[in-house]
Amino acid sequence: MMPAAMARRLPLLVLLALSALLGLSACGTRGISVAENAPEHHGAELFAARCSGCHTLGAVGTHGSAADIRTRLRTNGPNFTVRKENADRVLYAIRNGGFSGAIMPQNIVVGPDADAVAGFVAKYSGLGKRQNSPSQGAPAGAKGSP
């Protein structure tokens, strides 16, 4: 464990710090379980890159929604693993900045990209709870929890 070992470990630490910063989008990209050749794959990638910071969705392995109501942040959006959305609702949210227009940025994706994300979310939302996060079970039907 001499300097050589340290030098080898340093980039790893930097990487770890970086991935912590990139956080959810990095995890999300790796966690996409939509087949590469599925029509929704592009939308899944876009979702992982642009929406994962604030929304949980099992099909892309993202955890942006609050796992616990006590530690929830203002930016935590609805959990789409449990909340079913249709394409129109997603497009509405994208264009208007969520349903309230208060927190979610507008037009994170536009045009065909917005359609791709909407198609993906419509198909893969509401499929069920993630097995490994039991604490997300409670707010599932909780109306009004944004």
Q: Minimum Å distance from CB 20 to ligand HEC?
A: 18
Q: Minimum Å distance from CB 114 to ligand HEC?
A: 7
Nearer to ligand HEC, 46 or 130 (CB): 46
Nearer to ligand HEC, 10 or 96 (CB): 96
CA distances from 110 to 33, 50, 91, 96 (A): 24, 12, 9, 12
Q: Minimum Å distance from CB 24 to ligand HEC?
A: 10
- Write out the residues near ligand HEC by the rule CB under 6 A: 50-51, 53-55, 75, 77-78, 83, 85, 89-90, 93-94, 98-100, 102-105, 108-109, 117, 121, 146
DSSP string, the chain: --HHHHHHHHHHHHHHHHHHHHTHHHHHHHT--S-TTSTTHHHHHHHHHHTTTT-EEGGGTEE-S-SSGGG--TT----TTTS---HHHHHHHHHHTTTTSSSSPS-SS-HHHHHHHHHHHHHHTTS---TT-GGGSGGGG-TT--
Q: Minimum Å distance from CB 142 to ligand HEC?
A: 12
Nearer to ligand HEC, 86 or 133 (CB): 86
Report which residue's Cβ sits closest to ligand HEC.
98
Nearer to ligand HEC, 66 or 130 (CB): 66
